Structure 1
């Protein structure tokens, strides 16, 4: 099988590219495992100063793969790994992001999106909740905006994503937006970066330590529920679920 996560390195920056176009970079069990391995390798590499997480195609990530979903514990571990990695992780988004894919963005230290990208928390529309991804999301994004978008599943654009704290910045040329960010990271001392990141992520990691077990159990319960079965079936059949009015 071809790798689902491509790896490159240039001038002390490792780039991990989600490359699973067949399912719109959805978080399958295989992709989650491969991304976790790539992050571990980058974190252990003394030649890597920072990590860029990006994607091929027009979708950064469509969320959980409904045909081959990851174990909730594995997804929690991946999100925590992003937050706890001793190197800054920068998300580069030029496509659309849905549901669990937004958890990846929230777990990154810095995130930039192109103005053509769009975002939506679609969990409620298939009968589940953004439980696990709330761990990195709630400490970092605007609570009023999250209440609206998580409860309604509405789509919003990159400018709104930046306004509510899901993105650090948005622009027509995402590489131009990230150029000064990467230049700054390359000039920073490695240990200083690691210790500064530790200070900035302490509250997020506390949320993982306090709530991860309960939210993992909730995710498993909801995905096994009759409403989730109906919602996922409706999604795959491209029709409205039975509760839509």
Structure 2
């Protein structure tokens, strides 16, 4: 039996990460400022090139009722000094898992620009006013889908999803108003209240930069006094 690293792969693809790196002298004073700078750079890259298609795609890891890890990718819809956040059905698998155990990890990854940010902490619900403001900004069809989908529940086939969407369409006709589709009671958002934020920057020869901020006191991501920072070996 072939147990070599390339077993099962047609070829091993190797890329030398020629990123800008991250040195302490260029690091922002707080994890919020550093993360915001990188998020802004990723958004700008998405406007200029084709290989950063979803710059706010964030992987969210939880644990299920048995303690097994679970992960999925969603879109980050909130980011401020309180932490990153996303929206979802509050009866979805991720929401049920976070209600039972709020420990959470999340990661923004931009392979094309050789950067990633890892967040670790606990999840808390996003305020209803923020959820409603975001929901009203969504395209009409996306608002309908929030009603049509029993997220994470089984579906018989694609036709069932299309039927449920059509029912929502008939229930909430498009009037051109931001308020023609109400926010479902079962729909909301989660925010990661961080205890740790790590910045990864790819470098040549796999000698990458990793700098982590760890919480040492009270305060938001924007409060430098609430955090210490340390370089980690790659």
| Short-chain TM bin | under 0.3
Q: Name whichever structure is richer in strand by fraction.
A: 2
Larger Rg over CA atoms: 2
Q: Name whichever structure is richer in helix by fraction.
A: 1
TM-score scaled by length of structure 1: 0.23
TM-score scaled by length of structure 2: 0.24
